[in-house]
């Protein structure tokens, strides 16, 4: 038990950690294996209903019998130490992790609702898609080859930011002898150390909070760092400091576009501190990628990312330093030959390559007229060729 009365985080490995409770594996393991077999992302256990799973964003019931609160608690206890059971009884919720040997990892939140025990489980897979399978622009590989600086992924919840970062980290893992340290809440993908050494810390499981993890970060000798979601001033300040001291730092921000990400970050800081933050960003920023996931019309492909990319070249750095944020969008459009890409240009490429329906592109476009002009240019050039 920690000084704050919180049980020490105890990730549980398949088999060994449960032998003191029972001879065989936990009964929940059959649910976990079913998740993997189905390719489902989540499992929900709620009293009075059969287990439900989420597949392709939709939650559907399984064919099993309805579970009682006692059923769910009996199965959950097989994953909990005595201290963790006491913590749950006191606080009404707890996070635990279970990993099947050689298989997926499962993050489980056990919680009390309407006086009964329920649970939500997220499957964390070892299968990390590469750039090509995600249909990411070629410049993403070049960004991943940076050795120092700040790389930010922005976009709304569910836009695939974590998957894109995972593909970038896995590329580094395969190509660079270094130490990658991730601080995540929760862990989204499991990495197996290849050319790199990968250490993953999960908030609530491996460390109590972001503050504690960030304080210990520099003592862990990282070369590449992932700091999950940058949701407050302290987290982003730690990311900037790490990038300033020779590390390559990845993070996610909720923002609607690459230029808007700058303003979103500055809002975290008091007015008197924003000038120094601008200077630090102008020096250390390597790229901001903002993406949205769109429904695809390609056979076998459910969704495809439209990605806006702003690279930290000399012009972008100067604009950030001078507070010319309103001009960043024009700078992206005028430097697309250097690898930058506006969101409209990304939509244009997806429509031209027949990844998305034009109507989907129009609905997602920040400037519909601009997108229509680009598409008319395609038609005109093709007409000219036919002539």
Sign of the C-alpha dihedral, residues 77, 66, 27, 43?
Answer: negative
CA 221 to chain centre: 23
User: Among the three residues 79, 96, 124, which one is the final residue of a domain in this structure?
Assistant: 124
Check whether 14 has a pLDDT greater than 80: no
pLDDT at 5: 41
- The answer to whether residues 229 and 344 belong to one domain is yes
Please give the structure tokens belonging to residue 272.
């008197």
CATH number, domain containing residue 94:
3.30.450.90
* pLDDT average, residue stretch 123-128: 89
Q: Does residue 306 lie in a domain region?
A: yes
In sequence order, the β-bridge partners of residue 303 are 295
Confidence of residue 57 (pLDDT cuts 50, 70, 90): confident
Q: Does residue 2 lie in a domain region?
A: no
Check whether 263 has a pLDDT greater than 70: yes
* pLDDT average, residue stretch 6-13: 39
pLDDT at 128: 94
- The answer to whether residues 206 and 276 belong to one domain is yes
User: Among the three residues 102, 124, 146, which one is the final residue of a domain in this structure?
Assistant: 124
Rounded Cα–Cα distance for residues 372 and 358 (Å): 9
* pLDDT average, residue stretch 354-376: 94
pLDDT at 23: 53
Q: Does residue 75 lie in a domain region?
A: yes
- Residue 383 CA: distances (Å) to CA of 348, 349, 373: 18, 19, 15
Between 21 and 334, the higher pLDDT residue: 334
* Contact yes or no for 344/374 (Cβ under 8 A): yes
Confidence of residue 380 (pLDDT cuts 50, 70, 90): very low
Instruction: Give every CB contact of residue 110 below 8 A, 6+ residues apart in sequence.
Output: 76, 80, 88, 93, 94, 96, 117, 118, 119
pLDDT at 383: 37
Check whether 201 has a pLDDT greater than 70: yes
- The answer to whether residues 235 and 298 belong to one domain is yes
* pLDDT average, residue stretch 265-275: 95
Q: Does residue 97 lie in a domain region?
A: yes
CA 295 to chain centre: 19
- The answer to whether residues 229 and 152 belong to one domain is yes
pLDDT at 252: 94
- The answer to whether residues 209 and 88 belong to one domain is no
- Residue 17 CA: distances (Å) to CA of 26, 192, 199, 223, 385: 10, 21, 21, 32, 68
- The answer to whether residues 24 and 47 belong to one domain is yes
* Contact yes or no for 332/260 (Cβ under 8 A): no
**In this predicted model, what pLDDT tens digit does every residue of 281-304 receive, in sequence order?**
999 999 999 999 999 999 988 899
Q: Does residue 4 lie in a domain region?
A: no
Confidence of residue 164 (pLDDT cuts 50, 70, 90): very high
User: Among the three residues 58, 90, 124, which one is the final residue of a domain in this structure?
Assistant: 124
* pLDDT average, residue stretch 223-240: 92
- The answer to whether residues 150 and 174 belong to one domain is yes
**In this predicted model, what pLDDT tens digit does every residue of 64-79 receive, in sequence order?**
899 999 999 999 999 9
pLDDT at 112: 96
- Structural domain including 116 reads 12-124
- The answer to whether residues 353 and 318 belong to one domain is yes
Please give the structure tokens belonging to residue 268.
């975290």
Confidence of residue 384 (pLDDT cuts 50, 70, 90): very low
- The answer to whether residues 136 and 25 belong to one domain is no
Confidence of residue 378 (pLDDT cuts 50, 70, 90): low
- The answer to whether residues 153 and 270 belong to one domain is yes
Q: Does residue 7 lie in a domain region?
A: no
- The answer to whether residues 207 and 311 belong to one domain is yes
pLDDT at 47: 96
**First CA to last CA across the chain, in angstroms?**
79
Q: Does residue 315 lie in a domain region?
A: yes
CATH number, domain containing residue 356:
3.40.50.300
* pLDDT average, residue stretch 34-49: 93
- The answer to whether residues 92 and 156 belong to one domain is no
How does the average pLDDT of the chain come out, rounded?
Answer: 89
Check whether 381 has a pLDDT greater than 80: no
Could you give the number of structural domains in the chain? 2
pLDDT at 93: 94
Q: Does residue 280 lie in a domain region?
A: yes
């Amino acid at each position: 038990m920690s000084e704050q009365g919180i049980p020490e985080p105890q990730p549980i490995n398949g088999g060994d950690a449960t032998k003191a409770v029972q001879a065989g594996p936990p009964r929940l393991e059959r649910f976990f294996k079913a998740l993997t077999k189905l390719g489902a992302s989540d499992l929900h256990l709620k009293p009075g209903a059969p287990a439900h799973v989420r597949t392709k964003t939709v939650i559907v019931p399984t064919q099993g019998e309805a579970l009682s609160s006692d059923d769910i608690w009996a199965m959950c206890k097989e994953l909990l130490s005595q201290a963790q059971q006491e913590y749950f009884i006191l606080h009404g919720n707890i996070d635990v992790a279970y990993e099947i040997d050689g298989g997926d990892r499962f993050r489980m939140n056990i919680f009390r609702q309407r006086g009964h025990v329920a649970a939500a489980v997220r499957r964390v897979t070892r299968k990390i898609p590469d750039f090509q399978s995600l249909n990411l622009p070629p410049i993403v590989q070049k960004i991943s080859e940076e050795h120092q600086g700040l790389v930010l992924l922005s976009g709304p919840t569910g836009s695939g930011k974590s998957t894109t970062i995972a593909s970038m980290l896995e590329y580094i893992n395969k190509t660079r002898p270094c130490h990658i340290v991730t601080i995540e809440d929760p862990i989204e993908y499991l990495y197996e150390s290849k050319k790199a050494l990968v250490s993953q810390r999960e908030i609530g499981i491996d460390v109590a909070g972001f503050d504690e993890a960030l304080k210990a970060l520099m003592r862990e000798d990282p070369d590449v760092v992932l700091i999950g979601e940058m949701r407050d001033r302290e987290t982003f300040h730690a990311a900037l400091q790490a990038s300033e001291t020779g590390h390559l730092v990845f993070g996610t921000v909720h923002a609607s576009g690459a230029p808007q990400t700058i303003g979103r970050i500055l809002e975290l800081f008091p007015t008197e501190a924003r000038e120094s933050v601008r200077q630090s960003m102008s020096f250390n920023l390597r790229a901001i990628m903002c993406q949205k996931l769109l429904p695809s019309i390609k056979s076998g492909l459910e969704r495809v990312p439209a990605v806006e990319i702003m690279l930290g070249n000399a012009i972008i750095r100067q604009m950030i330093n001078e507070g010319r944020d309103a001009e960043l969008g024009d700078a992206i459009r005028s430097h697309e030959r250097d690898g930058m890409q506006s969101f409209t240009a990304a939509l244009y490429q997806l429509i031209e390559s027949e990844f998305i329906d034009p109507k989907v592109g129009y609905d997602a476009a920040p400037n519909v007229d601009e997108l229509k002009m680009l598409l008319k240019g395609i038609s005109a050039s093709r007409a000219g060729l036919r002539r």
